[in-house]
Amino acid sequence: MLFHTPIFAAFLIASAIPLILYLIFKSRKRDSSLGSIYILRKLVQSQKKLSEWKRYVIILMRTLALIALPLAFMQPYFPWQMRQADEFPSSPASSHRIILFDLSQSMSASFGTRSKYNSAVSLCRQILASASFPGRVDLLSMDGHSLPVTLNALPITPDAIDQAVTALYLTHSPADFETSLRQAADLFRQSPEKNKELYILSDFSDKNLRTLSAMALPSRLLHASGVRVFPVTFERPDSDNFAISSLTPGTDLVLAGQPTIFSITVGYYGSKPSAETLLTIQNSSGDTIFDQVIALAPGEKTIEIPLSLTAGEETLTARLKADDYPADDVIARSFRVRSELNVIVVQGINIARGFDNPREWLRLALHEGIALAKGPINDEKRNALMTAVPEAQRAAMQQRITAQEEAAFDRKSGDIARTVVVNANPSQLSTGLLRDIDAMILLDTETVSPEAVVAIIDYATRGGTVILAPGPTARPDAFNAAFARILPIDLANPFRDQIDPETYQQAVVEKTTDRVLHELEDARGGNIGSARFYNWYTTVPNTERLGTSLLLSLSDGAPLLMEKSVGRGRVLLWTAGFGSEWHSLVVHAAYPLLLTRLLTVAAASVQFPLNLRPGEPIIRPVSAATVRLVAPNGTSHIRDSVWSDQRGYIRFDQTQQPGDYAMHLDPQDDKSITWYHVSADQEESDHRAIADPARKQLQELLHADLLESEPQLIRAVGQGYEGGSAATWFAVTVLATLVCEAWLCRRFFT
């Protein structure tokens, strides 16, 4: 038995008052006996002994009344007793319950025979159903920005429970414990209810609780308000989850028939030192093009896989072996696979012939796809290539020719993408000429007309890429004046007046986050660092334009390749020329690979992306007047095309939900589908449970233990509840004993 006001226990000492008074006032007279009244005295003494026990009964009644009276004021009650194993205790009168619900994606992971989310919803239903009148219940998502769902009509009907639970759907927002606790503290502070209870339904993953110090203040506010906190965890200590978070070659466009390095990021989040999973990749036709068992230690690993795709729009789907959290086991990405690249090369007057003209080196690099498609290099061409390069560089050229012949032997005609080059001089540049061009290279071009600059800017603004490569004879002042509006930085005189073959620099990738450039550092990418640069244009200090970044530099830090954003496109500045006068890159395998990668990225930037981040719009040029888009949740949206620049375009902005979006170019035809993919945040993949000592710190902040099962929660809640009040029984006891005492006195002594 428990008491609300045990301070009244001090009055229990008063129960001895009747006995004490009886003993004090008990008569003990010593009279001398007279012979005449001897017989009468004996009779009186016998009657006195007979009534002694009656006095003790009356004293007992009075004592019981004085014991029961303070006990009644102590407000005794019995502890709560569980009647059934799954019975959730009903809330007492004047109770305010708040349920914080973790609706992050990690709650979709399996938990026993159900998911964490379904288990939490089932428990939430019990908490809502056990709320009693008068009182209040608030249901609040832990995303940090949602408003609470308030239920005042208690008890809550099954229909109201169904309606409230329907609003609990998983989102892509992580659990924000700090903000959620602050919201709960504010609601409790404004609440007039006497009993306050906070239920936290979450998996309490370690990644969401790495800043426990931020929870200290709201936890203190809850404790000061007398709130009882019940954190229920749906963690799985033995959970081993694999996640695939990216599948990309660096751009949304690849070249047909050419092996392209795809980077796949796979993570393992578990307690084992290492674990294995199966990775498979399928194309649009459902054919498996990659299948391999991979072993991972805890953390993320990037796997590079060379893949060759056929022309068209190809959707690749990468899958991992099914595990506890299926949401991150599959990723789909779409790519445009081009069989042709359209490039315009603008060159100033250069009468040099053969390999003395950088245009020849550029022709070989850009037409490598055609050369491979047509077959091996003949003897005449081999001799021309070998005699055109210095003796020290012939070994590298021979290696490159051999690699081309081997590749040509293994491939059929037409399998490899080719580059369609349009040659022009600076005076021919116009907006019409640059239409449908994937990239533009200005080779040995020192000056252009203002009208040409306007055409170049218009081309870049619409997503085009312009590569500026001034030759050794260019005048920096004239070059800077002509391209002032698009230059990343102003050029100065060459670094050396004369070339010393023994003095050179090497290329260094500065933008390490650029996968396309980073690939060139590897041996498979030609190892651009092995080329020698004997001379280059220096730059004018403090002339770097806004939005400029350094992509490649030389070993002494001098800029080699710089980039400036212009609208949707960009301008690249190459400071060492594309010929063989200032460097040996032209005879290295990295030279055609560098140009191919730059042109591929350029062609990708002209097109609107197929793979997006949440919130980025879907834009596509179409010929149809109307298209239909189907979102990941299955809802259909009809959009009319808008004409601009003599083309029809579709724009769809409602891409906040990650997943796969299907665009039906013919609304009535379910087969003409183009896929768009909005990437999901895979941070929820790491849902490993919080571990000691952070677990102990969390429990200290909340002043409660993490409850791992429903019976534990029921017992914890019931321990603070009353099973039944005994005050009434003690009050009745007081009244009964007093009535009994009065009756006995009247019965025995009157």
Structure tokens at 645: 């620049």
CA 562 to mean position of chain CA atoms: 33
Phi-psi group of 634: left, alpha or beta (phi > 0 → left; psi -120 to 50 → alpha; rest → beta): left
Residue 512 neighbours by CB distance under 10 Å: 9
CA distances from 497 to 502, 506, 582 (A): 15, 19, 11
> What integer is the mean pLDDT of 414-435?
84
242 three-state secondary structure: strand
- 568 CB-side CA count, 13 A: 14
Top pLDDT among 420 and 139 is at 139
What CA–CA distance (Å, rounded) separates 71 from 726? 9
Please report, rounded to a whole number, the percentage of residues in the chain having pLDDT higher than 70: 88
pLDDT tens digits for 302-342?
999 999 999 999 999 999 999 888 889 999 999 999 988 99
Residue type, 713: L
> Can you give the three-state secondary structure of 259-296, one letter per residue?
CEEEEEEEEEECCCCCEEEEEEEECCCCCEEEEEEEEE
How far apart, in whole angstroms, are the C-alpha atoms of residue 723 and residue 81?
A: 6
pLDDT digits (tens, 9 = 90+) for 453-501: 999 999 999 899 999 999 999 999 999 999 999 999 999 999 999 889 8
Tokens of 596: 């191919």
Residues in contact with 454: Cβ distance below 8 Å, sequence separation at least 6, in sequence order:
none
Residue 698 has pLDDT above 90, yes or no: yes
Least confident of 252-256, 295-299, 373-377, 600-604: 373-377
Query: Does pLDDT of 689 surpass 90?
Result: no
Neighbouring residues of 36: CB distance < 8 A, sequence distance ≥ 6: none
Alpha carbon distance 552, 564 (integer Å): 13
3-state SS assignment for residue 638: strand
As a whole number of angstroms, the distance between CA 2 and CA 31 comes to: 54
pLDDT of 655 reads 95
pLDDT of 375 > 50? The answer is no
Q: What pLDDT is recorded for position 617? A: 95
Q: What are the residues whose beta carbons fall under 8 Å from the beta carbon of 380, sequence distance 6 or more?
A: none
SS3 51: helix
**Whole-number Å distance between alpha carbons of 135 and 89:** 15
Cross-strand partners of 620:
650
**Strand boundaries in 669-728, DSSP class E:** 673-678, 722-725
Convert the pLDDT of each residue in 346-355 to its tens digit: 998 777 788 8
Q: For residues 305 and 250, give the distance between their C-alpha atoms in angstroms, rounded to a whole number.
A: 13
pLDDT of residue 422: 87
E strand residue ranges, 82-122: 95-101, 110-111, 114-115
Residue-level pLDDT at 221? 94
Helix/strand/coil for 373: helix
pLDDT digits (tens, 9 = 90+) for 219-249: 999 999 999 999 999 988 777 899 999 999 9
Residues 595-616: what's their mean pLDDT? 92
Q: How high is the mean pLDDT of the chain?
A: 85
- Section 184-194 average pLDDT: 94
| pLDDT score recorded for residue 83 | 65
Radius of gyration of the chain (CA): 43
pLDDT (tens digit per residue) in 494-532:
999 988 989 999 999 987 667 778 888 888 778 899 999
Q: Report the pLDDT value the prediction gives residue 538, as an integer from 0 to 100.
A: 96
Q: Stretch 101-110: mean pLDDT, rounded? A: 92
Tell how strand 611-612 and strand 642-644 pair up. unpaired
Percent of the chain with pLDDT over 90: 52
DSSP label of 225: T
Residue 408: predicted pLDDT: 43
| Confidence check: pLDDT of 555 > 60 | yes
Tell which residue, 393, 421, 441, has the closest CA to residue 578.
Answer: 441
Q: Within 13 Å and on the Cβ side, how many CA atoms surround 632?
A: 14
Q: Is the pLDDT of residue 380 over 80?
A: no
Q: How far apart are CA 619 and CA 603, in angstroms?
A: 16
Q: What is the pLDDT of residue 334?
A: 96
DSSP 8-state symbol, 533: B
